[in-house]
Amino acid sequence: MRGAGPADPARGALCTCGVTARGLRHRTSVSPVRGGPQWPAARPSVPKPGPPPARERWFQPRRSGHAWEREGLDHVRQRRPKAEPYRAWATLQFTGASGRVSVCDLLIAVPGGVYLLEL
């Protein structure tokens, strides 16, 4: 079929390389309907992932009612590492199995373990 001459709609369109385009998915094939090149359908653009959102590493739902606790918490907060995987929870409350509500001044999670700090 090479060099068979102009495109014959009954036989299929000729590709620019001279091979018939009937049934072929060829990038450079000539469309018998439009007469132009047939290109594969473009894929929709997929957004690229960006950097992860900045995560808070210090959680403090409420301020302490005692001045010495506020000073101690501020001291620890200023000196803690500002990188992963360090986390701290200040002035948190939890309920024990007996139903008693307890208050914790500072719970710190670091690569070396989890620490409870009572000020």
Question: In tens digits, what is the pLDDT along the chain, a chain of 119 residues?
Answer: 454 445 444 555 555 555 555 555 555 544 555 555 566 666 677 788 877 666 788 889 888 889 999 999 999 999 988 888 899 999 988 899 999 998 889 999 999 999 999 98
Looking at residue 39, its pLDDT comes to 63
Check: pTM over 0.85? Answer yes or no.
no
* pLDDT value of residue 113: 95
Cβ contacts of 20 within 8 Å, gap of 6 or more: 1, 4, 11, 12, 13, 14
Q: Quote helix, strand, coil % in the chain, to nearest 5.
A: 10, 25, 60
Residue 99: other Cβ atoms inside 10 A = 6
